[in-house]
């Protein structure tokens, strides 16, 4: 077995990033109070911080299971790729490619959305929103297949984990309204606050767009890119907002909704569709998926670029949770 670099074995990038996160959050709060440009609600902020704390605890609880699984997969790898400097660059790009598809699935399969919706549940968009993370991610079992792809190929699990942490650290700073636009060359290639504001918005024009983690090029390549328009101000949250700051309800509401829908299902097919179809699916069409909301909005407005700036994104939707957003 190849030698794992000491810094990969011994360093957790997230631990080193925490002081930066804390300083950045306080700096954004001070800026918001003195200059504007960001919105905070004390209860919402507290919920986000508690969700982040719960995610950390969850990571500790499930660490043994995840480690055992990834080492098992690595023992059955196709290649042994190693740790050469160029491998790190390749792996970082490949990890972001996998993240794009993982994130996209989290918006289009309700089973995964039940976990990811936590991150989109805030109606505010600031750096604490980046810390609003789910508690039960390992239970979705996504790590067993999509999360294992790079390890099965031959990238060491510790390398994959290290680069995954760097990916998440990068995404922290893009959760802000303080930074309006970055230089054009940067906006063209990288994920930025402007791109990610679109991703968190519930406007029909913006629904299910900009899934990128680090590189926005994936969205441009696979048809999910949408620039932020000055005439279309982002409205954050989910299509049907929760109206609560209770972390337990935020964490569990969609899981309970899935159970309730499956219990009411009239057939096995309907039950499985409630679990695996896009959020908002219903057998009788009484609810609306994001795709249906976007289609009706586009039909009303004539084109996806001509929406009224303050149109109501919930006008076409029932009360079902929607894929409205990482």
Per the CB < 8 A criterion, the answer to whether 255 and 114 are in contact is yes
Question: What secondary structure letter does DSSP report for 190?
Answer: B
Q: How far is CA 293 from the centre of its chain?
A: 20
d(CA 13, CA 129): 20
d(CA 127, CA 149): 30
d(CA 208, CA 248): 25
Contacts of 101 (CB under 8 A, 6+ apart): 146
Is the confidence at residue 182, as pLDDT, over 80? yes
Is the confidence at residue 316, as pLDDT, over 80? no
CA atoms within 13 A on the CB side of 238: 29
Q: Residues 257-270: what's their mean pLDDT? A: 96
User: Domain extents for the chain?
Assistant: 6-185
- Longest Cα–Cα distance of the chain, Å, equals 61
Q: Residues 84-102: what's their mean pLDDT? A: 96
Tell me what pLDDT residue 37 has: 65
Is the confidence at residue 323, as pLDDT, over 50? no
Token code pair at residue 205:
């024009």
Tell me what pLDDT residue 83 has: 93
pLDDT in tens, 10-39: 888 998 999 999 999 999 999 888 887 678
């Amino acid at each position: 077995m190849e030698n794992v670099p000491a810094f990969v074995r011994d360093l957790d990038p997230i631990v080193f990033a925490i002081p930066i996160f804390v300083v950045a959050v306080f700096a954004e709060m001070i800026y918001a109070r003195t200059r504007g440009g960001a919105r905070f609600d004390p209860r919402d902020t507290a919920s986000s911080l508690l969700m982040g704390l719960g995610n950390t605890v969850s990571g500790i609880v499930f660490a043994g299971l995840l480690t055992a699984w990834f080492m098992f997969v690595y023992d059955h790898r196709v290649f042994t790729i190693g740790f050469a400097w160029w491998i790190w660059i390749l792996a970082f790009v490949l990890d972001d490619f996998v993240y794009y598809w993982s994130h996209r699935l989290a918006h289009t399969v309700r089973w995964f959305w039940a976990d990811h919706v936590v991150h989109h549940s805030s109606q505010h968009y600031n750096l604490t929103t980046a810390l609003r993370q789910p508690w039960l991610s390992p239970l979705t079992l996504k790590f067993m297949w999509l999360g294992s792809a790079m390890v099965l190929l031959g990238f060491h699990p510790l390398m994959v984990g290290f680069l995954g942490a760097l990916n998440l650290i990068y995404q922290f700073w893009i959760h802000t309204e303080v930074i309006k636009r970055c230089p054009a060359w940067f906006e063209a290639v990288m994920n930025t606050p402007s791109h990610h504001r679109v991703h968190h918005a519930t406007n029909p024009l913006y629904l299910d767009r900009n899934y990128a983690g680090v590189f926005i090029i994936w969205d441009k390549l696979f048809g999910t890119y949408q620039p932020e328009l000055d005439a279309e101000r982002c409205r954050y949250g989910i299509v049907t907002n929760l109206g609560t700051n209770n972390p337990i309800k935020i964490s569990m509401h969609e899981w309970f909704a899935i159970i309730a829908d499956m219990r009411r299902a009239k057939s096995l097919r309907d039950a499985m569709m409630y679990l695996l179809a896009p959020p908002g699916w219903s057998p009788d069409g009484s609810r609306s998926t994001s795709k249906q909301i976007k289609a009706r909005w586009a039909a009303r407005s004539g084109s996806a670029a001509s929406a009224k700036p303050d149109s109501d994104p919930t006008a076409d939707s029932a009360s079902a949770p929607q894929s409205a957003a990482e």
